Structure 1
Amino acid sequence: MKGWTLTFVLAAVFALCAGPFYWLAMAATHANSDIFSWPPRFYPGDRLAANTATLEESIGLLNVLGNTLFVAVVQTAGALVVSLLAGYAFAKFAFAGRNVFFVLLLSTLVIPSGVTIIPIFEMMNDIGLIDSYPALILPGLSVPFGVFLMRQSLLALPDELLDAARVDGAGELRVLWRVVVPVMRPVLAALAVFLFLGAWNDFLWPLIALRTPEMFTLPVALATLQGLARTDFGQVMVGTAISSLPMIVLFLILQKQFISGLLAGATKG
């Protein structure tokens, strides 16, 4: 009986989580007038190609996807490098004020992101980077949570393993690449999923930092589809479905490393 109960509960949770995605996929194939009809149309329609073509005409879908993918990939890769290097320094090097700097770093986690938008905007504007890729990427390279996660995970890495590599003549960068990165791969994969998700779905900062439609990312471009009098929800549904696909694919590819990284973070002190 317990087995059937557990199966029923898991099936209900799966339906609750997957139901909105299924409705989104089905709505993307229907005309605007049919999306909110009653009873709901939980079956494929014939408007997917037309909705996609209309969306391309409205926001330049391919260009917007290219902008979003480029910013998300570069920002994720850069933030991973910065987090790993900073976490490695905090975990494995003794320097004056290390604990003080780490506490100051952690204190930034309680600062709402909206508070920093104006200073960051003024900084980007002063150096002439507004409405450019660097304006979108550079602020996202500093991720205090990523540094914290790397530092906590690296504390469990034996110093003897690093010392053995140094005795063999390896420099610090070689030790980092040959010893630390392979061990930290699950944690890096888990952090990469979180970073990519945040960069891909970021709306507020690109909305403020960008001015020309050719530079828009997908969330900003989709927001322009909301009209005062009428909104073509067929386009919106297609765009929303497309914006969800990369995260689903990324998670399916990295799910083993993602789960391993979460378990490692839960068991390492």
Structure 2
Amino acid sequence: MTASAAPPPAARRRARSLMLTSALAITAAAVLVPFHWLAVGATHSSQEVFGSPPPLLPGGHLAENLRSLQESAQFGRVLLNSLLVSTLYTVGAGAVCTLAGYGFAVFRFRGRNALFGLVMLGLVVPVQVTLVPLFRMMAGLHWLGTYQAVVLPNLALPFGVFLMRQSMGALPPALLDSGRMDGCGELRLFLRVALPAMRPALAALAVFLFLYQWNDFVWPLVVLRDSPSYTIPVALASLQGLDETDYGAILAGTAVAALPMALVFLALQRHFVSGLLAGAVKE
């Protein structure tokens, strides 16, 4: 009896490629199904959303849902509120995290590692633990109901500091030393040398910070007082009533809020991935 011949290498490669493609297709379908249901549900009424079987194709209630959303939550103003708060937070937190990351990566001082470890402890502290002391602090400053109470407490985001510290650590020391020899001060060296070299990391940080603030719900819910100043997550949550909830309007608002973020992420995806990998490998 002769042993059966092993399949040729080309056949094995095709089989592995087919299995990998199938696995990726199944994973992509699992990820995209919720987005498809969100887009379809935004075009149906609440009764149709929970019908049996659930709708799989777009309906004709999108305009009605958007009109109900505008009447119930002043959604146009809410969109502008979220855009303003997220932009201010991205600029402010980006500046703080970038400067902190540069300081931790470039300067050598006593207690640097201990201080950086203290900053990193913020990654493991639950948000709920800080709600009461931050609320009392904002109340003492008479900032409740204002956007500075939403933006300022989280400017030094631990993950942002960590990302920029790792990215700044990949800068060649000779590049910074040559700038100092040419008479550059540290601030000018930071602005003219470090920042241009860190464009991918800055893009990744900006996307992360904008998404973080755009989707933040708990803290704006605690400090914002009146509905005209609400951000998108708080405004959508306020539409859930005790007796009746317009799920069609909520799904329409969620779809409108998710679309700009999806477009921004897709446009900056290459910079986002390369920025997260910056500093992972050092020569």
TM-score with structure 2 setting the length: 0.91
- In structure 2, the partner of 1:87 is 101
Match for 1:257: what amino acid?
H
Measured in 2, the distance between the counterparts of 1:24 and 1:220 equals 19
Measured in 1, the distance between the counterparts of 2:21 and 2:112 equals 50
- In structure 1, the partner of 2:82 is 68
The 1:112/1:197 distance shift into structure 2, 3 A limit, reads same
- In structure 2, the partner of 1:9 is 23
1:168 to 167, 174, 182: 182
Q: How does 1:1-269 map to 2 (within 5 A)?
A: 1-268=15-282
Match for 1:104: what amino acid?
L
Match for 1:96: what amino acid?
R
Q: Which runs of 5 or more structure 2 residues have no equivalent in the other structure?
A: 1-14
Q: Which runs of 5 or more structure 1 residues have no equivalent in the other structure?
A: none
Deviation at 1:236, TM superposition (A): 0.7
Deviation at 1:51, TM superposition (A): 0.6
CA-based RMSD: 1.5
Measured in 2, the distance between the counterparts of 1:173 and 1:213 equals 42
Q: Is the 8 A contact 1:187 1:265 kept in 2?
A: no
TM-score with structure 1 setting the length: 0.95
The 1:211/1:142 distance shift into structure 2, 3 A limit, reads same
- Secondary structure, in 3 states, of the residue corresponding to 1:193? helix
1:74-129 CA distance string (max 9 Å, x none): 11121111011011111111233322222221223221111111111111111111
Percent identical among aligned pairs is: 52
- Secondary structure, in 3 states, of the residue corresponding to 1:267? coil
Worse-superposed segment, 213-222 or 238-247: 238-247
Q: Is the 8 A contact 1:152 1:268 kept in 2?
A: no
Deviation at 1:171, TM superposition (A): 2.5
Measured in 2, the distance between the counterparts of 1:264 and 1:155 equals 9
Match for 2:91: what amino acid?
A
Q: Is the 8 A contact 2:40 2:58 kept in 1?
A: yes
Match for 1:215: what amino acid?
S
Measured in 2, the distance between the counterparts of 1:236 and 1:36 equals 14
Q: Is the 8 A contact 2:166 2:280 kept in 1?
A: no
Deviation at 1:265, TM superposition (A): 4.7
Deviation at 1:141, TM superposition (A): 0.5
